[in-house]
Amino acid sequence: MEKGYQVVDGVGYIPEGTEEVVNYAFEHSEELREIDIPDSVKNIGMAAFVKCKKLTRVTFPNSLKEIGMIAFSGCKSLREIRLPNSLTSIGSAAFNGCTKLERVNLPNSLKEIMAYAFENCKTLTEIEIPNSLSRIENKMFANCVKLTNCNYS
Protein backbone atom coordinates (compact mmCIF):
# COMPACT_ATOMS: atom_id res chain seq x y z
CA MET A 1 0.00 0.00 0.00
CA GLU A 2 1.24 3.49 -0.89
CA LYS A 3 2.85 5.54 1.87
CA GLY A 4 0.25 7.50 3.82
CA TYR A 5 -2.64 5.30 2.68
CA GLN A 6 -4.02 3.00 5.33
CA VAL A 7 -6.96 0.85 6.35
CA VAL A 8 -8.10 0.89 9.99
CA ASP A 9 -11.06 -1.24 11.11
CA GLY A 10 -12.24 -1.58 7.52
CA VAL A 11 -12.09 2.14 6.73
CA GLY A 12 -9.62 3.40 4.14
CA TYR A 13 -7.74 6.66 4.62
CA ILE A 14 -6.06 8.83 2.02
CA PRO A 15 -4.10 11.87 3.24
CA GLU A 16 -5.75 15.28 2.75
CA GLY A 17 -4.07 17.20 -0.04
CA THR A 18 -3.59 14.06 -2.15
CA GLU A 19 -4.42 14.86 -5.80
CA GLU A 20 -4.22 11.34 -7.21
CA VAL A 21 -4.91 7.92 -5.76
CA VAL A 22 -1.91 6.17 -7.28
CA ASN A 23 -1.99 2.98 -9.35
CA TYR A 24 -2.55 -0.14 -7.21
CA ALA A 25 -2.93 1.95 -4.01
CA PHE A 26 -5.34 -0.42 -2.21
CA GLU A 27 -5.05 -3.39 -4.59
CA HIS A 28 -6.46 -6.66 -3.13
CA SER A 29 -7.05 -5.09 0.30
CA GLU A 30 -8.81 -7.80 2.28
CA GLU A 31 -9.89 -5.41 5.06
CA LEU A 32 -11.18 -2.39 3.08
CA ARG A 33 -14.96 -1.99 3.45
CA GLU A 34 -15.49 1.75 2.97
CA ILE A 35 -13.63 4.89 1.96
CA ASP A 36 -14.27 8.62 1.73
CA ILE A 37 -11.93 9.98 -0.92
CA PRO A 38 -10.78 13.51 0.07
CA ASP A 39 -11.89 16.57 -1.90
CA SER A 40 -8.34 17.22 -3.12
CA VAL A 41 -8.33 14.05 -5.30
CA LYS A 42 -8.72 14.67 -9.04
CA ASN A 43 -7.72 11.25 -10.41
CA ILE A 44 -8.05 7.64 -9.32
CA GLY A 45 -5.24 5.62 -10.86
CA MET A 46 -5.21 2.28 -12.62
CA ALA A 47 -6.24 -0.65 -10.39
CA ALA A 48 -6.28 1.61 -7.32
CA PHE A 49 -9.02 -0.49 -5.66
CA VAL A 50 -8.90 -3.60 -7.84
CA LYS A 51 -10.30 -6.73 -6.14
CA CYS A 52 -11.19 -5.05 -2.86
CA LYS A 53 -13.86 -7.71 -2.48
CA LYS A 54 -15.35 -6.37 0.78
CA LEU A 55 -15.60 -2.73 -0.36
CA THR A 56 -19.25 -1.69 0.02
CA ARG A 57 -19.13 2.11 0.08
CA VAL A 58 -17.10 4.75 -1.77
CA THR A 59 -17.68 8.47 -1.43
CA PHE A 60 -16.24 10.26 -4.44
CA PRO A 61 -15.05 13.89 -4.14
CA ASN A 62 -16.59 16.73 -6.14
CA SER A 63 -13.11 17.43 -7.55
CA LEU A 64 -12.78 14.03 -9.29
CA LYS A 65 -12.07 14.18 -13.05
CA GLU A 66 -10.92 10.66 -14.02
CA ILE A 67 -11.34 7.08 -12.88
CA GLY A 68 -8.55 4.94 -14.29
CA MET A 69 -8.53 1.58 -16.00
CA ILE A 70 -9.70 -1.35 -13.79
CA ALA A 71 -9.80 1.04 -10.80
CA PHE A 72 -12.66 -0.80 -9.06
CA SER A 73 -12.65 -4.03 -11.06
CA GLY A 74 -13.62 -7.04 -8.97
CA CYS A 75 -15.13 -5.02 -6.09
CA LYS A 76 -17.83 -7.64 -5.66
CA SER A 77 -19.60 -5.99 -2.70
CA LEU A 78 -20.23 -2.54 -4.22
CA ARG A 79 -23.99 -2.01 -4.65
CA GLU A 80 -24.27 1.64 -5.63
CA ILE A 81 -21.94 4.37 -6.85
CA ARG A 82 -22.69 8.07 -6.99
CA LEU A 83 -20.30 9.75 -9.36
CA PRO A 84 -19.66 13.51 -8.96
CA ASN A 85 -20.64 16.16 -11.51
CA SER A 86 -16.95 16.93 -12.07
CA LEU A 87 -16.17 13.48 -13.57
CA THR A 88 -15.15 13.51 -17.26
CA SER A 89 -13.70 10.03 -17.90
CA ILE A 90 -14.26 6.41 -16.84
CA GLY A 91 -11.41 4.11 -17.88
CA SER A 92 -11.54 0.67 -19.49
CA ALA A 93 -13.04 -2.01 -17.23
CA ALA A 94 -13.15 0.49 -14.34
CA PHE A 95 -16.09 -1.31 -12.69
CA ASN A 96 -15.78 -4.69 -14.43
CA GLY A 97 -16.90 -7.55 -12.22
CA CYS A 98 -18.76 -5.46 -9.64
CA THR A 99 -21.31 -8.25 -9.58
CA LYS A 100 -23.60 -6.69 -6.91
CA LEU A 101 -23.66 -3.22 -8.45
CA GLU A 102 -27.31 -2.25 -8.87
CA ARG A 103 -27.23 1.52 -9.36
CA VAL A 104 -24.90 3.95 -11.11
CA ASN A 105 -25.48 7.60 -11.83
CA LEU A 106 -23.52 8.94 -14.79
CA PRO A 107 -23.08 12.71 -14.38
CA ASN A 108 -23.73 15.25 -17.14
CA SER A 109 -20.05 16.24 -17.03
CA LEU A 110 -18.99 12.82 -18.37
CA LYS A 111 -17.21 12.98 -21.75
CA GLU A 112 -15.98 9.40 -22.25
CA ILE A 113 -16.58 5.85 -21.10
CA MET A 114 -13.99 3.36 -22.24
CA ALA A 115 -14.51 -0.28 -23.30
CA TYR A 116 -15.83 -2.83 -20.81
CA ALA A 117 -16.34 -0.11 -18.14
CA PHE A 118 -19.28 -1.94 -16.53
CA GLU A 119 -18.79 -5.45 -17.94
CA ASN A 120 -20.04 -8.30 -15.74
CA CYS A 121 -22.10 -6.02 -13.47
CA LYS A 122 -24.66 -8.78 -13.28
CA THR A 123 -27.21 -7.01 -11.04
CA LEU A 124 -27.18 -3.64 -12.82
CA THR A 125 -30.75 -3.09 -14.03
CA GLU A 126 -30.98 0.50 -15.26
CA ILE A 127 -28.69 3.30 -16.36
CA GLU A 128 -29.15 6.79 -17.76
CA ILE A 129 -26.57 7.82 -20.38
CA PRO A 130 -25.94 11.61 -20.35
CA ASN A 131 -25.88 13.47 -23.67
CA SER A 132 -22.52 15.02 -22.70
CA LEU A 133 -20.69 11.86 -23.85
CA SER A 134 -18.53 12.32 -26.91
CA ARG A 135 -16.83 8.91 -26.71
CA ILE A 136 -18.44 5.60 -25.85
CA GLU A 137 -16.38 2.50 -26.52
CA ASN A 138 -17.63 -1.01 -27.27
CA LYS A 139 -18.94 -3.58 -24.81
CA MET A 140 -19.45 -0.99 -22.11
CA PHE A 141 -22.21 -3.15 -20.56
CA ALA A 142 -21.16 -6.62 -21.78
CA ASN A 143 -22.60 -9.43 -19.65
CA CYS A 144 -24.90 -7.10 -17.69
CA VAL A 145 -27.61 -9.75 -17.84
CA LYS A 146 -30.24 -7.81 -15.86
CA LEU A 147 -29.78 -4.48 -17.63
CA THR A 148 -33.20 -3.81 -19.11
CA ASN A 149 -33.33 0.00 -19.21
CA CYS A 150 -30.55 1.97 -20.82
CA ASN A 151 -31.79 5.52 -21.42
CA TYR A 152 -30.02 8.20 -23.39
CA SER A 153 -30.98 11.68 -22.21
Residues 84-134: tens digit of each pLDDT:
999 999 999 999 999 999 989 899 999 999 999 999 999 999 888 899 999
Domain that holds residue 3: 1-153
Q: Dump strand ranges (E) for the chain.
A: 6-8, 11-13, 20-21, 34-36, 43-44, 57-59, 66-67, 80-82, 89-90, 103-105, 112-113, 126-129, 135-136, 149-152
Q: What is the mean pLDDT of residues 5-13?
A: 95
Q: How many domains does the chain have?
A: 1
Residues 111/90, Cβ–Cβ less than 8 Å = no
Q: What is the CATH number of the domain that holds 18?
A: 3.80.10.10
